[in-house]
Amino acid sequence: MKENIEMENIEMENINIKMTDSSPKVKLDYEKAFIEFEGKSFPENTFDFYEPIVQWIKNYFTEYERKTTTINIKLTYFNSASTQILFDIFDAIQDNKTNEVIINWYYALDNENGLDDYEDYSEEFEELNINAVAYAEEV
């Protein structure tokens, strides 16, 4: 069982990473309880790129989570290593969350296989109630 630690004077650093041609924009904001990934994800060293991000998320959900957290996944293309990272992120959230988490999985309305990846994760992490959110144009 998690300890109820008083963390009022300890701040967590927010992380903002700019989008590149092969890596997504990442926003990790603990004050706003907001996490977002947007763009393409196929960095050569995928695990190196995501290591601090996954660690931040683990810290956030084990020590800093105070209210409902919103997580937006707006990834258009991703490589197989990124599928493992998303799995690890959802796994960390499911294992550690104490409050409500709203997870929105964005997919292109005109993409026939847009829901395939969503289905894989939503079935595996049933407890997280991942929402599928269709968008008409490229995010």
Partner 1 sequence: MCKNDNLNLCLIIDENTIYEFNEKINEQSIIKSAKHIEKLLKDNDVKPNKIQDVFELLVEIMQNMLNYSFGNIDLPNNKKEAIGSFVLSYDSNDDEYVLKSCNLITLEQVEIITNKFKLIEGLDDKALRKLAREKMRSKEDNHDKGAGLGFIMMARKSTKPIATQFIPYKDNILQYKLSLVI
Q: Which residues bind partner 1 (CB under 8 A)?
A: 21-22, 42-48, 76-81, 83-84, 87-88, 108, 110-114, 120, 124
Q: How far apart are CA 47 and CA 52, in angstroms?
A: 9
Helices (H), ranges, 6-131: 46-59, 80-96, 116-124
Nearer to partner 1, 23 or 69 (CB): 23
The least distance separating partner 1 from the CB of residue 9, rounded to whole angstroms, comes to: 36
Q: How far apart are CA 11 and CA 35, in angstroms?
A: 17
Residue 126 DSSP label: G
The least distance separating partner 1 from the CB of residue 90, rounded to whole angstroms, comes to: 10
- In the structure encoding, which two tokens stand for residue 77, read together? 């293309």
Nearer to partner 1, 34 or 42 (CB): 42
Nearer to partner 1, 100 or 120 (CB): 120
The least distance separating partner 1 from the CB of residue 55, rounded to whole angstroms, comes to: 16
Nearer to partner 1, 51 or 100 (CB): 51
- 84: Cα within 13 Å, side-chain hemisphere: 11
